[in-house]
Every structure is written in structure tokens, then in C-alpha cells.
A and B are shown apart, each in its own frame.
Chain A
């Protein structure tokens, strides 16, 4: 039995690296290979051994059969470059009933993904944005880079408005070659503009994965009675009676979710809707399993 990792517990742990490791360990337990397919070393041909060749590339089995030394040659050795775009706008500061904000959940998820990718030698970068890009870490490998990235993640505080389109545009341009763009957001944004940038990223050859982070309260409208509701980003307020508008809200929200599913499917964007009360390792595991089932993109 695999124990699930409660986001409430994980959010209370200050060591993001530890959280990431525990989450990844829980998520990949039972998975035999990584679903990430980078441009790793690929066998090309044999050639006759020359003095000075590294003995570790000598094919000893072939030597046993032919009694001659042959050295294995590889065509290319490249790793996956990934870039996470983390939404740090005000709406991400909303906490559901479990007290975990969407920003926290996204941060934990991002840390787990970073740890996972770094563990297999892939490069990982980070773009933290609200109305503009706040922080940028280019995709790199190495422990010190990952630590810096985790520190940056741990310092993310939600605030301001959202403009994912510009962040996505910059991310797709900053990836030096085809790579993986991971968007962690609640997608309360200019939907058309974001769709446009997603399509652009896909056309540039990048893989795109979207984690749509939400709280259960948002989906069901977890308010009661007459309330003055204040928008976390615009600070606009309206007076409403939750019981009167709940059905309409849920319908509209359902349509909003459906729109994003449709858009992502249209451009082969990997769309994962997750709730802040969902165990992190399960979210990650579901994501990984779906990717493995989908097979390597290229």
C-alpha cells in the first residue's frame, strides 16, 4: 500500500527539497522507467579498437565471438530541457477548506517535478510570473542549480494580476531547443491569449503540460449566505447571496473547465486538473502514468 501525501502536511514542511524527494519517491514507486524521453545516448556503430580508446566502450561479447576488439560508437547524447511556468498571481493565494493555497500546492508540485527531472539528468528551469515575469531560471542540470530553483520556489508569494500569455511566450523563446513547458496555474486569465501562446509553443516543437490547480471551494462555490466577495486580483467587490447564484456559478465554472480541456486536447497539450486537497504524489503519479501511456512524443 502506498501512503498518500497530504498537501496539508507537506505544506507545513519547510524543506522543499525533502518534500520534493518524498513526493517523487511516492509517485514513481512501482514505475519501472521514467516516462520522460530525453535525447539520451543512442548506439550508432562499431569500429575497430584503436590504442587510446576507453576500454569501457569495448564490446566484450563481440570480442568473445570474433576474438577481435571493437569499440561502440554513439550518435548523440542530449537531455530533456524543461521549463516550469508558475503562476504567482493573487488568485493563486486562495486557500480552500484545507488551508493550502493554490500557490503552495503549485510550488510543491513544481518542486517535485524539478526533483524528478533533475534526478534523471534533465535540465529544468523556472519562470515565476504574475502580470509580468518575476523570476527566471534557465533550464540547467546540476545540484546547485536545483537548490537555487527550489529556494526560488519556496519564496514565491502570490500577488498581483495574471498574464500567463507573456510568460509562456518568453518561456517558449528561452528554451534553446525543443523541450517541455510545464504551466502551473489556475488559468484565470485571458483565455484566448493563453491559448494562442500554448499553440505557438506547440508549433515551436515544445511539449506542453498544464497543471490546472484549483480548490474545491472554487469548483462548488464554498460560500454561504449573503457575502461581499472581493476579487483577490482586482479587489473588485460584489454583494451576492451564494445560495441564489451557486447553480449558475457551477454551470459557468464547468463550462470554463470544459473549455480548457477542449483547448488543450486540440493542441495535444497535456492537461491535468488538480485540487489542492489531492495528495501530491497521486497527482504526480497520475501525470506520469498518463505520459507513459501516451508514449514518447518524438
Chain B
């Protein structure tokens, strides 16, 4: 059996023990004063004076010290860790349900509710994490369980277990004592066909759209003709650069890039063009696009490799998106009339212009969640291999309230009564003793 504390800081209250000790030392033992007809036959004794320097009434002092100590210890809320208590602790299971919220599980949502209700029964603590990324959900669950007050911890993944939703690395990152179970819901799908991107097109080239077909482990992508988008990228460049701009569009179209959605706009401006009135980026999709594009390794690599000296860059509120090898801004962005405006400090014929355009198109049009479309499932053997039982961990032990403070409070109360009785008895006994013949 060991001892643990719920509020160990309260043990500092033990310092209060010095109180009664000091009081008894300072007050000393007060000899009862008695009157006598004469002192002529009496002599003072040293022993009496020495006795009076000892703490008065040792029994009372002991009682008072014990009361204070019991109260301080009770305030610290001790927990006696017995075998029984430890076993009970180990029986406690903290459970986190990682619930797949991807569209693919949509049809199985009622079943999810049933599973959640079943998993909640019999467990001390159950938390839920609703996520569209099981890998992220596992990380969050592990973090939550690290703080859980239970002897064992378990993660239950409720999902349709699409292939790729979890990897061995995701599972391996979990602490080994955390249990893992999988509840697979929904009927397996044989195949699915859906639309991918509408491709950026240039000039008279026909607009095409991806048609993706998943058939078991096979994937087919067909490009089918589609209507051109009502929203196109606007280019502002000197008239003599028109041909370069056309080449730029064709290059980007050939390289492959998504078409602009109808609710967003992009304007590319090259040196020599009249700059429109711009404003800082405030619209969320523009800020997101800036964040995505500024992390595009290809764009950054092309920009840093750009040799030509950049034209004089406009100032505020333009925000640099990419810089050349000398650190000078090469591509800058701002906002104008709900459009994202990009200023490329190079000719349209430069590679950096194509890289900037393609990067911005990808940044403006978020990639579809291909994983959502997966029809293959993680194999049963794979899930069984990842499944493991929760193990009790001594490191997880945390003392649980209410602890055993109530016994100490009771003891303190009892001793308080004894102290009161002893104080009265001692006082009257002293008087009687002094006068007793």
C-alpha cells in the first residue's frame, strides 16, 4: 500500500504545526498561583523554574499538534493506494470514439449512433472525436487519453475504413498501452464515377473535364468536353506582350491546371501595364490562396532561379508571394474588386509567370478530397493486426477523489473533542492539585 495526494500543495499547511508548538513554548507552563500566609519558611526551587521553561502541558500540545497535522493532511486529500483501489482503478477504462464524418459514411450515420451508444455503456469515461481525417482523430484521441483518469485507455475507430484513411504509421504513433479497436460500418462499394477538375484551357482549345471511375482497385480518368467557364483569368500586360500572354496560357493549359470557379476571380498583371487600385487581402479565400501558393515549392524554386532583374515593385498593400535569388519580390498579390490580383515582376514569357499562374490556380481552386471517393476498404486482416487491447499502465495512475480525507477530518474532530475535555480536566486538576493538602 502506498500513499498519494490529491492536493499535495496543501501539505504546506503542516507548517501550521509550528503554531501550537510556539504557543506552548512561549506560554510555558504557568504554575498555579496560590496565596500563603508567609514565605519565611519556603524557599524557591530551581527545579520548578526549569520545569516552567518546558512546553506547557505536553499532552495538550501533542493533541493540538495532531489536530493541526490531521487537518493539514486531510486538506491535502490523501489517497491510500490499496490493492483493491488499484484494481478498481485498472478496471476503469477511458475510451475515445473516433467517428468518421466523411461523406462516404453518410448512409451509415444511424448505425454510427447505435455503435456510439453501445460503446458508451460500461465505460467510465467516453469522449467522442468527430473527424474527417482518421489519422488526425487518432492523434487527438491519444492526446486526450494522456490526461484521462483511468487505468486503461482505448480508442475505438468508427468508420467505413476506406483504404488510405489510416496507415501503419498513424497506428504506430499511438502509445503502446492504448488499446485500439475498429468498428467498420457501411456496405462496401464496388465502384463509383464522379467528376474531377475542369481543366484550364487557353485560346480556342476546347474545355475539358475529368471523369473519374473507381472500379475496385482500378481507377480510370477520362477527359470529356465541357462548356468553358464563365470566369476566366484576366491578364494586364502591355500590348506588345499579348502574344507572350497567349503563350503563357497555352503553357499552363498544357501543364494542367484547374479552371477558375465562377465565384472567384484572378488578375495577372505584368510590368508596363497600368496598375489598378488595390487593397489588402481581406477575403478568406484570397488569404488561403496566398498561404497555399507561398508554400508551393515549384513556384519558389522557379522564382529563386529567376535571373532577370525584377521591375520596380509596387509598395503597400502588395504582399510578396515569391522572391528571386536576391530576395527581391518577384510575385506580389493584392485584392481588387473581389479579385485576387497578382503582379509578376517579369515578362509573361518567363517561366516564373507560368509557375505563378499555375500555382495560383491550384491555390484558388482547392483540390477535391479524392480520399472521400475511395471504394476500397482496409482489409479485415489489416484492421485485426492493428487491433490491440488496452493495457493498464502504472504511469497513468492518478489519485481519484474523494480520497481518504474524510477519515482524517473525523479524526481531527474527535481529537478536538478530546482536546476540549482534556483542557478542562487539566485546568481543574491543576487548581485542585495546587490546593490539595
Range for the number of chain A residues in contact with chain B: 35 or more
Given the contacts A216-B437, A220-B437, A241-B47, A230 and B41 also touching, CB distance less than 8 Å: no
A158's nearest neighbour on chain B, judged by CB, is B37
Q: Assess the A226–B51 pair: CB atoms within 8 A.
A: yes
Given the contacts A239-B52, A240-B45, A231 and B39 also touching, CB distance less than 8 Å: yes
Q: Does B42 contact A (CB under 8 A)?
A: yes
Q: Does A137 contact B (CB under 8 A)?
A: no
Q: Does A174 contact B (CB under 8 A)?
A: no
Give the docked Cα–Cα distance between A215 and B38 (Å): 12
Q: Which residues of A contact B36 (CB under 8 A)?
A: 94, 218, 223, 229-232
- Most A-side CB within 10 Å, residue of B37, B45, B47, B437: B37
Q: Does B400 contact A (CB under 8 A)?
A: no
A interface secondary structure, majority? mixed
Range for the number of chain B residues in contact with chain A: 20 to 34
Q: Which residues of B contact A231 (CB under 8 A)?
A: 35-39
Contact flags A62-86 to B (C-beta < 8 A → 1, else 0): 0000000000000000000000000
B397, chain A: closest CB distance, angstroms: 54
Q: Assess the B37–A230 pair: CB atoms within 8 A.
A: no
CB-based A-B contact count at 8 angstroms: 110
Q: Does B147 contact A (CB under 8 A)?
A: no
Contact flags B356-368 to A (C-beta < 8 A → 1, else 0): 0000000000000
Q: Which residues of B contact A102 (CB under 8 A)?
A: 37
Q: Assess the B44–A238 pair: CB atoms within 8 A.
A: yes
Q: Which residues of A contact B39 (CB under 8 A)?
A: 229, 231, 234, 236, 238
Q: Assess the B433–A230 pair: CB atoms within 8 A.
A: no
Q: Assess the B436–A222 pair: CB atoms within 8 A.
A: yes
Q: Which residues of A contact B31 (CB under 8 A)?
A: 225-228, 239
Of A91, A227, A253, the residue contacting B34 (CB under 8 A) is: A227
List B4-42 residues whose CB lies under 8 Å from chain A.
29, 31-42
Q: Assess the A240–B43 pair: CB atoms within 8 A.
A: yes
B43's nearest neighbour on chain A, judged by CB, is A245
Q: Which residues of B contact A220 (CB under 8 A)?
A: 437
Q: Does B434 contact A (CB under 8 A)?
A: yes
Contact flags B36-68 to A (C-beta < 8 A → 1, else 0): 111111111101110110000000000000000
Q: Does A195 contact B (CB under 8 A)?
A: no
Give the docked Cα–Cα distance between A218 and B35 (Å): 11
Q: Does B189 contact A (CB under 8 A)?
A: no
Q: Which residues of B contact A245 (CB under 8 A)?
A: 42-43, 45
Contact flags A215-259 to B (C-beta < 8 A → 1, else 0): 111101111111111111110111111001100110011001000
Q: Assess the A225–B437 pair: CB atoms within 8 A.
A: no
Give the docked Cα–Cα distance between A92 and B35 (Å): 12
Given the contacts A227-B434, A249-B42, A241 and B35 also touching, CB distance less than 8 Å: no
Q: Does B423 contact A (CB under 8 A)?
A: no
Q: Does B146 contact A (CB under 8 A)?
A: no
Given the contacts A188-B38, A188-B40, A237 and B33 also touching, CB distance less than 8 Å: yes
Q: Does A48 contact B (CB under 8 A)?
A: no
Give the docked Cα–Cα distance between A248 and B39 (Å): 13
Q: Assess the A94–B37 pair: CB atoms within 8 A.
A: yes
Q: Which residues of B contact A222 (CB under 8 A)?
A: 435-437
Q: Assess the B436–A224 pair: CB atoms within 8 A.
A: yes
Q: Which residues of B contact A13 (CB under 8 A)?
A: none
Q: Assess the A252–B41 pair: CB atoms within 8 A.
A: yes
Q: Assess the A223–B435 pair: CB atoms within 8 A.
A: yes
Q: Which residues of A contact B436 (CB under 8 A)?
A: 222, 224
Q: Assess the B434–A218 pair: CB atoms within 8 A.
A: no
Q: Does A193 contact B (CB under 8 A)?
A: no
Q: Which residues of B contact A221 (CB under 8 A)?
A: 41-42
Q: Which residues of A contact B37 (CB under 8 A)?
A: 90-92, 94, 102, 186, 188, 215, 218, 231-233
Q: Does A41 contact B (CB under 8 A)?
A: no
Give the docked Cα–Cα distance between A152 and B39 (Å): 30
Give the docked Cα–Cα distance between A222 and B39 (Å): 13
A contact set with B: CB distance below 8 Å? 90-92, 94, 97, 102, 186, 188, 215-218, 220-234, 236-241, 244-245, 248-249, 252-253, 256
> Which 4 pairs across A and B sit closest by C-beta, in order of nearness?
A222-B437, A91-B37, A252-B41, A238-B44
Besides the contacts A97-B437, A239-B52, A248-B43, what 14 more A-B pairs have beta carbons closer than 8 Å? A188-B38, A220-B437, A223-B435, A228-B34, A230-B33, A230-B34, A237-B33, A239-B49, A240-B48, A244-B47, A245-B45, A253-B41, A256-B40, A256-B41
